[in-house]
Structure 1
Amino acid sequence: MNHVLLSAKIIERKALRYTPAGLPALDLVLEHESEVTEAQQTRKVKLELRALALGDIANRLNRQDTGVPIGITGFLGAPRNGRGVLLHITELNDIV
């Protein structure tokens, strides 16, 4: 299973573009910060992650203020150049 549920904030947003099929596409860099428990120890997690949104979600994220926490659901894939990881955003969620 490849399913990601993450709270993050946008720290970088490229210009909205369109795919050859005419879908809006938006490339982003997200930042996540949290504390998790691993082996009975509290660990701080901070990471930056490249992300891609298509369609209506791309339009919504293009209007989203940077630095504001948002809930994201998606899946991990490889970017076109095959280096690293790219989060494909499929849903926006409320943060609880």
Structure 2
Amino acid sequence: MNQLQFDASIAERDVVRYTPAGIPIVAARLQHQSEQMEAGIKRLVELDIAAVAAGEISGRFNQAALGSQFRFSGFLAKKNRNSKSLVFHIVDFEPVV
């Protein structure tokens, strides 16, 4: 199963673009920071990940405030067929309160 959920802020967001099939897509960079337990030791985890929101979710994502914290749900996939880079595909998100 390929599912990922984490809290992050929207660090950067591109303008909406459209696929040849007319599907809206918004590319972005998400930033995450948390403390995690690993081998019984607290570890500071920081990451910056490329993300995309496609279809209906792209409109809501495009309106979300930059810098605000959200809980994102989605999956990981290659950037393109020949790439080794991963992109997080946003399926849903909600504000973290």
* TM-score using structure 2 length: 0.92
1:95 aligns with 96
Structure 1 residues 62-94: Cα deviation after superposition (integer angstroms, max 9, x where no partner): 111110001110000000251311001111134
Question: Where do 5+ consecutive residues of structure 1 fail to align?
Answer: none
Q: Distance in 2 between matches of 1:60 and 1:44?
A: 30
Partner of 1:33: 33
Once superposed, which parts of structure 1, at least 4 consecutive aligned residues long, lie more than 3 Å away?
none
Structure 2: tracts of 5 or more residues without a match: none
Match of 2:84, SS state, is coil
Identity across the alignment (%): 38
Number of residues paired by the alignment?
96
Task: Give 1:70's aligned amino acid.
Answer: F
Q: Distance in 2 between matches of 1:95 and 1:12?
A: 18
Superposition CA RMSD, Å: 1.3
